[in-house]
Structure formats: C-alpha cells, structure tokens
Amino acid sequence: MFFNSIDFAVFLPIVFILYWFTFNQNIKTQNVLVLIASYIFYGWWDWRFLSLIVFSTLVDYTLGILLGTEVKETKRKIYLWISIIINLGFLGFFKYYNFFIESFVDAFTFFGQDVRVTSLKIVLPAGISFYTFQTLSYTIDVYKRNLDPTKKFIAFAAFISFFPQLVAGPIERASNLLPQILKKRKLNYEQSIDGLRLMLWGLFKKVVIADSLSPIVNDIFENYSTHSSPVLIMGAVFFAFQIYGDFSGYSDIAIGTSKLFGIELMSNFKFPYLSRNIAEFWRRWHISLSTWFRDYLYIPLGGSRGSKIKGIRNIFVIFLVSGFWHGANWTFIFWGLFHAVLFLPSFLCGTNRKYINNNVNSSFSFLKIVSNIYNTLLTFILVTVGWVFFRSATITDSFTYLKIIFTKFSFEHYTHPNGYRLIDYFILLLFFMIYEYIIRNNERNPIGFKNEYVRLFVYILLVFLMLLFYDDGVDRSFIYSQF
C-alpha cells in the first residue's frame, strides 16, 4: 500500500477514527490497533513477508530481555551477535544473494574458468533494509546499556512495524520512538494540522516533482546513447530532483501521518540541495541513515579519532557500506566510493564541520552571498554527477553517459515522451527551489505561515498543481521502497 494510493486514502481515515474514538481506552488497545493496522498496511503488498517482520520482532524482543538480565559479558556478546547474524542474514539473503552469486561467476569467467551456479528468483521484501536497521539499533542500544529492554511485547511489535515509516523510513531509534509508543497519547489539534500540512507538502513533492519528471528521466537514461550532452545534463538534473522529491516526499508524508497519531518522528531531509559542501549535504540528506551509520559503525570504528589514515579508512568504510545498503549493484557501491572521494577534502582540510548548524542564514555581504551561491552550485553539480552512477543500470553505462556529456556537444530538440512542454518543468523546479529557500529553516512545517490567507493560497496552489501535473500513466510507486 502506497501513501499516494486510493487504498491509503481510505485506510488512513478509518485507522485514525478507530485510534482516537474506539481504541482510546488505554495505551495497550491503541498499540494493538497500531500493530494490526501496520500488518494490514504491509501485508497489502505481499502478506507472505509479514512472517519476516514477525520473526525478527520475536527474536529481538527475546534477545532484548536476555541482554537486560544477563550479567556475563561473554553471553551478552553472544546474544548481540545472534541478533546481528539473524537480521543481516535475512537482509543478505533476500537482497544480496544473487548479487554475490553473479559476482562470483563473473570473477571466475574473467580468469577463463566456466563456473555454473544457479541463481534464485528472489522477491525483495519492501522496506527490509529499513526495518532491519531499526530493530538492530534496539538490540545494540540494549547491549550498550543505553536503553532498558521493554517487556511489553505489543508495544515493541508496534515499534518495529509502525506503518508510517515501515517501508521507507525514517529509520527510527528505539530511544525516540519506543517511549512514545509506551506512553499515553492524546489527540492534539495543532499537531494534527501540522501533520496534514506536511502530508500535503510531501504529496506535492511526490506527485508534481518526482512523478512528473519520471517519464523524462526514464526516457533519457534508457536511450542515453542517442542523445547529446545538453539532453543528458537535463536528464541527470531532473533525476536529482526526481529522487529528492520522491524520497523526501515519502518522509514528509510519513512524519505527517505519525503526527496524526500523536507520535513525532525524526527529520530525514533538511533541504539538501541548499548545502554548501558534501559534508553538509550528508547532514541534510537521508539523515536517519547517515546518523545510523555514524553511531553504529563510524564511531565504533574509531571515527575521526586517532590518525588521519584511520579516519580516511573509516570514511571509505562508511560510504562503501552506505552504497551497498542501497542496492545489490556495483553502481551503488561506486556511488558510495564517489561520495567518499568527494568527502575526503573536507575531512583533510577540517571543513567537514563548517556548516554544522544546518541553517542557511541570510547575509548582506555581497562576497558571502556570491561564495554561498558558488559553493551551493558546485555541491549540487558534484552530487548530480554521483546520481548518474546511482541511476544507471551498469558501471559501463554510467561512464559512457558521463563521457557523452563531455564529448557530444550539439543542439538537440528534445521532446517530452508524452508531448508536454519542457519549459513548464524548468519553471516548476525554479520556483520549487525558491520556495525551499524561503522555508529553508523550517522543514517540519513547510506551510506554517502565520498569515492565514498566505497559507490558504499555498494550499490551493499545491492542490491545483497536483491536479495539473497528475499523470495516471506514470508509475507512482516510491523509489526507496525497493531498498
């Protein structure tokens, strides 16, 4: 079930009414409804994979209790490793089995050996990378004694399967989400209105930005060898906005939906295309994943402490694992490596913490304005080059795509696959970025203008644009649900 489907438009009001007006007697009954609703939400896609979530929930609930009661460190480490092996084992099998088999065969073929290994037709469970990392964070935190294990199974199961962020995040920490599930929640009008605003903004980004750019991006990347440099540049830029609109739109809807149920999720995007260097970009893009890797991999490896060599090693490990997390394809691994190389100069020069507050403040200094514009454009260009690897089918396609950009300079009249005017999309993206700059320091409430007439105007405009750009022939699934 997708957020932008008719099914969800029917599902959400029913759950909301039951949650606040029927199952509101106590916390347990509310959590029972959350759990049932979450399993229906996920099972709507394929009910067979509910067994994975249930099994993972049972394993980590049990191991959490054992970790909380065991005093011997040796046994506690065994319990932790059981959790890690089981969770990553499922993730590795469903997501990476065929990748490793094919890479194994290719490696022997390269050396002239004919190896025959049968691959399997494995269906990737939606969102498995997200809920696997979420449940892992619980057992790791309990092992580190940063979190007390819960004995309330229903609440724990609701935490693991909480439907707004089950399929594509944000990847929540137990320390933030679980306490909210364990305490009594009351209907808050202002919180609900903020949630609806955020959902509207997320739907706009998905329907108007991501979905409307999808046919152009697909056409250009699938037929890149027939196009000239300007068209390929347009395709790369449009994909940058497509994936941003798609993923940040999903996160906004997830956070907004959670607000309707009295639960606050962490921010996952903070206007990343306003970043002034790569380090700032990664503090603004997919925040729940980047902070997960920081806390559970980068810091345990030693972080930036110690020698520069170890720091560089840790950076490459983090970005390579991040690339591998995104998918079983060498293009994702190379994308991670590319960002590690981009991040390295900031780390070596000590500028990786330069824009730590994540705020894009106005400045009346002309030189400062020019510097910010230059740094922002340069960062966007570098990130967009990286998106070429992310979007391409193979590494060869990626490099050929970039080669054509730098070698095939010619004017080409490109026509939208559905015959629409391209100028409309350029104008749309220009005003989209202007609006994001206006609301740059308030990602949690992007339509929260004080003037009610301004808010009403924005509501009407967003709805009008969604109706105008809506295309029933476009694949409306979310890109990140496949991860």
Active site residues: 326
Q: Which helix (H) or strand (E) holds 32?
A: helix 27-46
Report, in angstroms and rounded to the nearest whole number, the Rg of the chain calculated over CA atoms.
23
Angle of helix 395-407 relative to helix 229-260, nearest 10 degrees? 130
146-171 burial, b if ≥16 CB within 10 A, otherwise e?
A: ebebbebebbbbbbbbbbbbbbbbbb
For the chain, the residue count is: 483
110-142 burial, b if ≥16 CB within 10 A, otherwise e?
A: eeeeeeeeeeeeeebbbbbbbbbbbbbbbbbbb
HEC secondary structure over 135-175: HHHHHHHHHCCCCCCCCCHHHHHHHHHCHHHCCCCCCCCHH
User: For residue 328, what is the DSSP state?
Assistant: S
What is the C-alpha to C-alpha distance for residues 340 and 347, in angstroms, rounded to an integer?
10
Work out the number of other CB atoms within 10 angstroms of the CB of residue 456.
12
Closest CA to 122 of 101, 139, 143, 153: 101
What is the C-alpha to C-alpha distance for residues 394 and 337, in angstroms, rounded to an integer?
15
Cis peptide before 230 (omega within 30 of 0): no
User: For residue 267, what is the DSSP state?
Assistant: P
State the residue for tokens 């202002």. 190
Furthest-apart CA atoms within the chain: distance in Å: 71
What is the C-alpha to C-alpha distance for residues 252 and 265, in angstroms, rounded to an integer?
10
Q: Is residue 323 helix, strand or coil?
A: helix
What is the C-alpha to C-alpha distance for residues 299 and 330, in angstroms, rounded to an integer?
26
Tokens of 335: 């994308």
